[in-house]
Amino acid sequence: MVQHKNIANILEKRIQNHVYPPLSQIPTQNELADEFNTSRVTIKKAIDTLIAEGLLVSNRGSGTFVMSNPLINEMNFSGKSYTGLTATMGEEKDRISSAIIKFESDFPNSRLQKILLLGETSPIYHIIRLRNLDNEPFQLEHTFMPIDVIPGVNKEILFHSIYSYIQDSLGLKIGSSYRIIKAVKPDELDITYLDCKTDDPILEVEQVVYLDNGVPFEYSRSRHRYDKGGIVINNQIDL
């Protein structure tokens, strides 16, 4: 049976390729369930995912339609997405490349101890990666992870996807995240690696990500150039 995430990815590609044009109605849940040989519950989860990302809108009694939203473009990402940049890009992940600026083990300061529920002698990874999109600076990631929770991370993994390693190699399931999005001033690393000026604003996404058992496994601060896309949050109002 096809999982709802895979179905959501397929439907998203159809929207991007105008198989389902803007303002058009997509097939019914029953029709999609037959096509993918799955249940309506699975189809509803896939559709709800795309509604949350602002790609679809559901009108009770009328069906589900493709949004015509000029604010959304290929460099904007869902505010609810926390599965990592590589997974977010999907089939276009080859457009992403990584440069490792810092990769070392350390001990958590008092703030990280509180956020990640660690003792002062619990080892953590301290990772800084530059993510390039189409060979241009896109995102600077500052990541802290407990080594005991996510063992075995190496440079080869960092050049690709940490989240894929966590899920596919370690067999862990990612649960939820807590995220704060704000505008900040650039620091020296931003100026150096994101190629921005001292007065350019930076979009920072600060987040804590949890496994499905509630254990926090990542605290990160992702910093984006102001002119390299944004975060899309779609609020669905039930009348």
Q: In terms of domains, do 206 and 142 share one?
A: yes
Q: In terms of domains, do 90 and 207 share one?
A: yes
pLDDT tens digit sequence for 89-138: 555 667 888 899 999 999 999 999 999 999 999 999 999 999 998 888 98
| Mean pLDDT (the chain, rounded) | 85
pLDDT at position 73: 45
Q: In terms of domains, do 88 and 156 share one?
A: yes
Question: What percent of the chain clears pLDDT 90, i.e. is strictly above it?
Answer: 54
Looking at 21, 45, 66, the residue that finishes a domain is: 66
Asked if residue 41 has pLDDT above 90, the reply is yes
Q: Are strands 231-232 and 77-78 parallel, antiparallel or unpaired?
A: parallel
Q: In terms of domains, do 128 and 168 share one?
A: yes
Q: In terms of domains, do 176 and 104 share one?
A: yes
Task: Report the domain count for the chain.
Answer: 2
pLDDT at position 92: 62
pLDDT at position 155: 95
Q: In terms of domains, do 43 and 97 share one?
A: no
Task: Say which CATH number the domain at 198 has.
Answer: 3.40.1410.10
Residues 6+ apart with CB under 8 A from 210: 174, 175, 176, 177, 216, 217
Looking at 66, 85, 115, the residue that finishes a domain is: 66
pLDDT at position 15: 86
Q: In terms of domains, do 195 and 136 share one?
A: yes
Stretch 31-42: mean pLDDT, rounded? 94
Looking at 45, 66, 87, the residue that finishes a domain is: 66
Q: In terms of domains, do 85 and 110 share one?
A: yes
pLDDT tens digit sequence for 198-239: 999 999 999 999 888 888 999 999 999 888 766 666 555 554
Task: Say which CATH number the domain at 50 has.
Answer: 1.10.10.10
pLDDT at position 18: 86
Answer whether residue 72 is part of any domain: no
Least confident segment among 22-26, 39-43, 65-69: 65-69
pLDDT tens digit sequence for 139-163: 999 999 999 999 999 999 999 889 9
Asked if residue 82 has pLDDT above 60, the reply is no
pTM of this prediction?
A: 0.66
Answer whether residue 93 is part of any domain: yes
**SS3 for the chain, per residue?**
CCCHHHHHHHHHHHHHCCCCCCCCECCCHHHHHHHHCCCHHHHHHHHHHHHHCCCEEEECCCEEEECCCCCCCCCCEECCCCCCHHHHHHHHHHHEEEEEEEEEEECCCHHHHHHHCCCCCCCEEEEEEEEEECCEEEEEEEEEEECCCCCCCCHHHHCCCHHHHHHHHCCCCEEEEEEEEEEECCCHHHHHHCCCCCCCCEEEEEEEEEECCCCEEEEEEEEEECCCCCEECCCCCCC
- Residue closest to 98 by CA, chosen among 147, 166, 157: 157
pLDDT at position 17: 83
Are 14 and 36 a contacting pair, CB within 8 Å? no
Q: In terms of domains, do 212 and 108 share one?
A: yes
Residue type at position 197: K
> Which residues constitute the domain of residue 222?
77-232
Stretch 66-72: mean pLDDT, rounded? 58
